[in-house]
Chain A
Amino acid sequence: MTAFILRRSLQSIVVLFIMSLIVFVGVNLVGDPVDMLINPEADQAEIDRVIRDLGLDRPVSEQYWYFVVNAFQGDLGRSFIFGEPALKLIVQRMPATMELALVSLLMAVVFGIPLGIYAGLKPNSKFSKTIMAGSILGFSMPTFWVGIILIMFFSVHLGWLPSTGRGDVATYFGVTSSAFTLDGLSHIFLPAFNLALFKLSSVIRLARAGTREVILQDYIKFARAKGLAESRVVRIHLLKNIMIPVITIIGLEFGSLIAFSTVTETVFAWPGMGKLIIDSIYNLDRPVVVAYLMIIVVIFVMLNLIVDILYSVLDPRVRIKGVS
């Protein structure tokens, strides 16, 4: 077990190293930030000074070395645009993104599981067919376009919900979130629903597939034979058993919600880190781009590592297969 965790952690470190190299070298090949940052009327001495200050005159290998050394000290460089530490900019915006991802995850689960169970229990009913057709549509519709439709319908046409920003935030127990105020909730609804739609489709499919499998098991038949109410069979016997695969997928997909929030945040002008990265790519603000990508890669590598270790605890075959 320890050997497995060690080997798997080592592998994660190698992945991190390779990704940092790809991201750093790649991003540093883009355009020339000097052209963009320096006043065109500046003289040569001024230009040289700025280049020296930003460390742009060093070879890329040296820049990378300093990047790694500084990264270990929590310093991922300074934004060219904001003049603030890149890490600070991202950390400031991280709660907004996390909040959006969590609320959409909640939506996907709260709506997805009952709909999926219904579609699994009554596969031939009209409503179930509508649910499944809807889930194919949810899979196919590009997130950004759905966002536009939502804004158009609920904000522009009906004027019910705001379409940009985060609204009022409140702080309870040290957590600042829009979810604590009514205004904030009205702001988060559309973007969270937009982000949830894709996951909603996969949760529905999973819950439906799980239901159709579990419903045939002996313990369900037995529970029914005992004369338990159908609602109790569904709530206790069925729900518990279909939750296992659903929860696994939710854990894995949380990372992809964060990645996809770049799109939703741009459409809804949500002040999270996803919007920051898109703006920074436009502005060639390299330190912010590199820092964001590194943070995301770390989040992903950690999530995968945790899921793998949990799997190996639950299922010893994973460990044995990994060794051979």
Chain B
Amino acid sequence: MSASANKQSYDLPAAGLRKFWLDFSESPTAVIALFVFLIILFIAIFAPWVSPSNPYDLTSVDIMNSRLPPGSEDFSGNFYILGTDGAGRDMLSAIFYGLRVSLGVGALSGLVALILGASVGLSAAYFGGRFETIMMRIVDIQLSFPSILMALIILAAFGKGVEKTIIALILVQWAYYARAARASALVEKNKEYVEAAKCLALGDKRIILSHIAPNCMAPLIVVGTLQTAHAISLEATLSFLGLGLPITEPSLGLLIGNGFEYMYSGDFWISIFPGIALLITIVSINLVGDQLRDMFNPRLQK
């Protein structure tokens, strides 16, 4: 109950935003995490402008510079703060471009999964009956298999590729959103405002989309943040295994995989630095998600 009261106050644009920020900034860790994430997001979006060089421009990459340790300089005076990889690419630039691919794939698949899962969950809760039983059975069955196994089945079936990886990530994730959306829609649909909307003879579609859906957003945002972190990690794992993104779309997972073969000869930086970038991204998203979950958790309301 107190959760919905709290949520109502977030609806007022300016005052709501301020209260939201006050609640959020109660945890300094979460604020730092959000700040770090925003920096990462900035780097990912503006990768071509903030990178020291374009790692995929063949004219500027010289194989002679391959596997330079961090902090080296090449003959033409270029400085490589994180060293270079096996093809002579600047690691820092490769990581910036990799962040772009990893975050892009994670965000896109998360968004589509959110829309798909939420539509299924909301309509299952609203209409009930056979449709609800069947859809929720499918959700239960899917959630009883670990995500990596679902992803392996899908990628073994479709093969590798950008759009196939995104499809696999969507199919892995949608069930989490469907379950969260249904759970909160079941509570919302018995409230007076929905009854009032029904009395006005509004259509089902309008009731679901403009009345129930906005009130179910809070838990979906929480699931969305945590799932996006999970999707980024899963994509990295699949790309590392060589089953996810193709070599033309080098995500962080692929960079780590490329460095793996050089590791036995002691060239640690090719694998380690993209991994640290991946770790910082995932941890910052998880910390923000944890704080959001605490904020929206009615049991922890003061």
Could you list which residues of chain A lie within 8 angstroms of chain B, going by C-beta atoms? 15, 22-23, 25-27, 29-31, 136-137, 139-145, 148-149, 151-152, 156, 255-256, 259-260, 262-263, 266-267, 277-278, 281-282, 289, 293, 296-297, 300, 304
Inter-chain contact A27/B156, CB cutoff 8 Å: yes
Given known A-B contacts A151-B263, A259-B146, A26 and B153 have beta carbons under 8 A apart? yes
Inter-chain contact A148/B256, CB cutoff 8 Å: yes
Given known A-B contacts A26-B158, A304-B144, A143 and B229 have beta carbons under 8 A apart? no
Q: Does B268 contact A (CB under 8 A)?
A: yes
Chain B residues with CB under 8 Å of A26's CB are 153-154, 156-158
Chain A residues with CB under 8 Å of B125's CB are none
Distance in Å: Cβ of A74 to nearest Cβ of chain B: 22
Distance in Å: Cβ of A231 to nearest Cβ of chain B: 33
Q: List 7 A-B contacts (CB under 8 A).
A: A26-B156, A27-B157, A142-B253, A142-B282, A152-B263, A260-B148, A278-B243
Inter-chain contact B145/A156, CB cutoff 8 Å: no
Distance in Å: Cβ of B157 to nearest Cβ of chain A: 3
Chain A residues with CB under 8 Å of B229's CB are 140
Inter-chain contact B153/A293, CB cutoff 8 Å: yes
Residue in contact with B286 in the complex, picked from A136, A144, A266, CB distance below 8 Å: A136
Inter-chain contact B272/A266, CB cutoff 8 Å: no
In the complex, A159→B219 CA distance in Å? 48
Inter-chain contact B158/A30, CB cutoff 8 Å: yes
Inter-chain contact B271/A152, CB cutoff 8 Å: yes
Q: Does B283 contact A (CB under 8 A)?
A: yes
Question: Which residues of B79-133 have CB atoms within 8 Å of chain A's CB atoms?
Answer: none
Inter-chain contact A136/B283, CB cutoff 8 Å: yes
Question: Which residues of B259-302 have CB atoms within 8 Å of chain A's CB atoms?
Answer: 260, 263-264, 266, 268, 271-272, 275, 278-279, 282-283, 286-287, 290
In the complex, A278→B160 CA distance in Å? 13
In the complex, A136→B291 CA distance in Å? 13
Closest to A141 in B: B279
Could you list which residues of chain B lie within 8 angstroms of chain A, going by C-beta atoms? 141, 144-146, 148-149, 152-159, 229, 233, 236-237, 240-243, 253, 256, 260, 263-264, 266, 268, 271-272, 275, 278-279, 282-283, 286-287, 290
In the complex, A267→B236 CA distance in Å? 14
> Counting chain B CB atoms within 10 Å of each CB, which of A22, A140, A256, A277 scores highest?
A140
Inter-chain contact B236/A148, CB cutoff 8 Å: no
Inter-chain contact B156/A139, CB cutoff 8 Å: no
Given known A-B contacts A141-B279, A152-B268, A259-B149, A293 and B156 have beta carbons under 8 A apart? yes
Given known A-B contacts A148-B256, A266-B241, A278-B241, A256 and B146 have beta carbons under 8 A apart? yes
Inter-chain contact A145/B263, CB cutoff 8 Å: no
Inter-chain contact A23/B278, CB cutoff 8 Å: no
Given known A-B contacts A152-B272, A278-B241, A281-B152, A145 and B256 have beta carbons under 8 A apart? yes
Chain A residues with CB under 8 Å of B266's CB are 156
Chain A residues with CB under 8 Å of B146's CB are 255-256, 259-260
In the complex, A143→B286 CA distance in Å? 16
Inter-chain contact A293/B152, CB cutoff 8 Å: yes
In the complex, A46→B141 CA distance in Å? 45
Residue in contact with A15 in the complex, picked from B141, B159, B286, B290, CB distance below 8 Å: B141
Chain A residues with CB under 8 Å of B275's CB are 142, 145, 148-149
Chain B residues with CB under 8 Å of A297's CB are 145
Inter-chain contact B159/A30, CB cutoff 8 Å: yes
Given known A-B contacts A156-B263, A278-B241, A140 and B152 have beta carbons under 8 A apart? no
Besides A140-B279, A260-B148, 9 more A-B contacts (Cβ < 8 Å) are A26-B158, A30-B156, A30-B158, A140-B229, A140-B233, A141-B282, A142-B282, A148-B256, A293-B153
In the complex, A22→B287 CA distance in Å? 37
In the complex, A42→B105 CA distance in Å? 42
Distance in Å: Cβ of A43 to nearest Cβ of chain B: 29
In the complex, A289→B153 CA distance in Å? 9
Chain A residues with CB under 8 Å of B149's CB are 256, 259, 296, 300
Closest to A143 in B: B237
In the complex, A141→B236 CA distance in Å? 11
Chain B residues with CB under 8 Å of A296's CB are 149
Distance in Å: Cβ of A226 to nearest Cβ of chain B: 33
Inter-chain contact A148/B286, CB cutoff 8 Å: no
Residue in contact with B152 in the complex, picked from A22, A144, A262, CB distance below 8 Å: A262
> Counting chain B CB atoms within 10 Å of each CB, which of A31, A141, A142, A277 scores highest?
A142
Distance in Å: Cβ of B233 to nearest Cβ of chain A: 5
Closest to B243 in A: A281
In the complex, A290→B236 CA distance in Å? 24
Distance in Å: Cβ of B38 to nearest Cβ of chain A: 18
In the complex, A148→B274 CA distance in Å? 12
In the complex, A25→B154 CA distance in Å? 11
